[in-house]
């Protein structure tokens, strides 16, 4: 679902410098493709996500008993998740990224950054290493 949201938008794709910070605070620079979202793209992504959740909440009116929880829950989550989508301003593509320690591909294919939290936590399940990935600006 994420790739269909990202793909059609004319966002800037660049191979910017990315840094990986390990648990022991060692830093390594790598080149990864990243996408900076424009304001229009961010609004579109937020509206798509919120719209899906609002439609789901409207459909859940038809479900007896559970609609007491589902309708308000999905409406609240449409606002919260829509805002979180809007606050994501860039995306780092990890499809070609191998763990710098064990040289295996990671399970995660994309990580998103927000202005408040530019560090994306990434975990390598092969060597059990925590990393933080962020764009060097
Ligand atoms: Zn690893």
pLDDT value of residue 137: 65
Low-confidence residues in the chain, pLDDT < 50? 1-10
In the reported structure, the alpha carbon of residue 89 is separated from the centroid of ligand 1 by a whole-number distance in angstroms of 27
Residue 55 has what pLDDT?
97
pLDDT at residue 16, rounded to an integer: 63
Distance 30 CA to ligand 1 centre (A): 15
Most distant pair of Cα atoms in the chain: their distance? 54
Backbone angles phi, psi at 66, to 5 degrees: -70, -20
* Tens-digit pLDDT profile for residues 97-118: 888 888 888 888 899 988 888 8
pTM of the predicted protein model: 0.73
What DSSP line would sit under 27-42, residue for residue? EEEEEEEEEEPPHHHH
- In this structure, which residues have their CB less than 5 angstroms from ion ligand 1? 99, 101-102, 124, 126-127
Beta strands in 23-127 (DSSP E): 27-36, 88-93, 110-114, 120-124
Cα(36) to centroid(ligand 1), Å: 27
């Amino acid at each position: 679902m994420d790739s269909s949201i990202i793909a059609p938008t004319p966002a800037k794709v660049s191979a910017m410098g990315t840094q990986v910070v390990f648990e022991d605070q060692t830093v390594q620079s790598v080149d990864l493709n990243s996408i900076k979202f424009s304001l229009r793209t961010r609004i579109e992504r937020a509206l798509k996500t919120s719209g899906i959740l609002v439609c789901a909440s409207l459909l859940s009116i038809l479900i007896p008993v559970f609609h007491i929880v589902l309708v308000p829950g999905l409406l609240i989550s449409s606002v919260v998740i829509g805002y979180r989508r809007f606050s994501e301003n860039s995306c780092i593509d990890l499809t070609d990224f191998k763990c710098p320690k064990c040289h295996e591909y990671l399970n995660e294919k994309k990580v998103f950054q927000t202005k408040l939290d530019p560090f994306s936590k990434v975990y390598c399940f092969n060597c059990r290493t925590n990393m933080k990935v962020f764009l060097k600006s």
